[in-house]
Amino acid sequence: MKTVAVTGGIGSGKTTVCAMLASMGVPVYDSDSRARALYDEQPSLLSGISDRFAALGVREPLTDGEGRLDRKKLASLVFGSPRLLSVVEDIVHPAVRADFLSWKEGFSEEGWTGPGKVAFVVIESAIITEKPLFRDIIDKVVEVRASRAFRLERVRKRDGVSVEETERRMSAQSEKVSSPDAVIINDFTIDKLFSSVSSVFSALWQPDPFLR
Q: What are the structural domain ranges in the chain? A: 1-27+116-202, 35-106
Three-class DSSP category at 4: strand
d(CA 161, CA 21): 28
Model pLDDT for residues 117-162, shown as the tens digit of each residue: 667 899 999 889 889 999 999 999 999 998 888 888 777 777 777 7
- Between helix 190-202 and helix 14-23 the angle, nearest 10°, is 70
Domain covering 1-27+116-202: architecture: 3-Layer(aba) Sandwich (3.40)
pLDDT values of the chain reduced to their tens digit, one per residue, 212 residues: 889 999 998 888 999 999 999 988 889 999 999 999 999 999 999 999 999 999 999 998 999 888 889 988 998 898 878 899 999 999 999 999 999 999 998 886 655 444 456 678 999 998 898 899 999 999 999 999 988 888 887 777 777 777 677 677 666 665 556 688 999 999 878 899 999 998 888 765 555 455 55
The pair phi, psi for residue 167, each rounded to 5°, is: -60, -40
CA 89 to chain centroid, in Å, comes to: 14
CA 188 to chain centroid, in Å, comes to: 22
The pair phi, psi for residue 50, each rounded to 5°, is: -60, -45
Neighbours of 205 (CB within 10 A): 11
**H/E segment holding residue 100:** helix 82-104
d(CA 118, CA 79): 39
d(CA 209, CA 212): 6
Which alpha helices (DSSP H) does 56-81 contain, by range?
A: 71-78
Sign of the C-alpha dihedral computed for residues 195, 28, 208 and 134 taken in this order: positive
Angle at 109 between CA 99 and CA 1, to 5 degrees: 50
Give yes or no for a contact between 152 and 170, defined as CB atoms under 8 angstroms apart.
Answer: yes
